[in-house]
Chain A
Amino acid sequence: AQTVTQSQPEMSVQEAETVTLSCTYDTSENNYYLFWYKQPPSRQMILVIRQEAYKQQNATENRFSVNFQKAAKSFSLKISDSQLGDTAMYFCAFMILGANSKLTFGKGITLSVRP
């Protein structure tokens, strides 16, 4: 079975600063995707960034980037130039390729951006 661990329950960052959210996972599979989702107070789940395990290059989406360490099974999210609108819960998630494409989520981390 696959597991996703987010060990930090909450973090806080000053506006315009950089913050890194940690995630580790466990799997015996070789082909999979990793995701970070954002859940603001509206409860909408928003895809932030996605990483294919077969790609060595770390994914980047504007102010969001990941540090994917496949051997260490680590997948951290870096948010640069934090904005007030980044305040939300962030979930790390995992999906095996070729299976039923269901997502396995971590427990999430609450990020607060201070003005």
Chain B
Amino acid sequence: NAGVMQNPRHLVRRRGQEARLRCSPMKGHSHVYWYRQLPEEGLKFMVYLQKENIIDESGMPKERFSAEFPKEGPSILRIQQVVRGDSAAYFCASSPQRGGEAFFGQGTRLTVV
């Protein structure tokens, strides 16, 4: 059973471009969480999704950020018109049920130049 897979591991974007981060949860997991880690900081919750539904997006910036978890395929975190402040490590975690143990991917390090 493969773990949570995130790709790419590293992503470089110029200011104003779009960044698309992908997360494939563990097999059988229908709950996905996205977290952002700024340098020297802990992880901050962004959004919680179940298949085809956004359950909690209280940690998502109101503009430029969106997330989806379609019926088929990976969960996508999309950042439009990236700015330098978006540079961070973005982690995805999946869980088989609400309140279950969260398994993390290795993260995507986004660098905006």
Contacts and interface: CB of A to CB of B under 8 A. Distances in A.
Interface of A: 4, 6, 33, 37, 42-47, 50, 91, 93, 95, 97-98, 100-108
A108 B42 contact: yes
Contact of B42 (A42, A50, A97, A105): A105
Interface string B80-113: 0000000001010101001111101011010000
B45 A102 contact: yes
A101 B56 CA distance: 10
Interface residues of A, dominant DSSP:
loop
A101 to B, nearest CB: 5
Interface size class of chain B, counting residues whose CB lies under 8 Å from the partner chain: 20 to 34
A106 B95 CA distance: 21
Contacts of A44: 104, 106-107
B63 interface: no
A47 B41 contact: no
Nearest to B46: A102
23 contacts: A4-B42, A43-B107, A43-B109, A44-B106, A44-B107, A45-B43, A45-B91, A45-B93, A45-B107, A47-B102, A93-B42, A95-B99, A97-B99, A101-B48, A101-B95, A101-B98, A101-B99, A103-B33, A103-B35, A104-B45, A105-B35, A105-B43, A106-B42
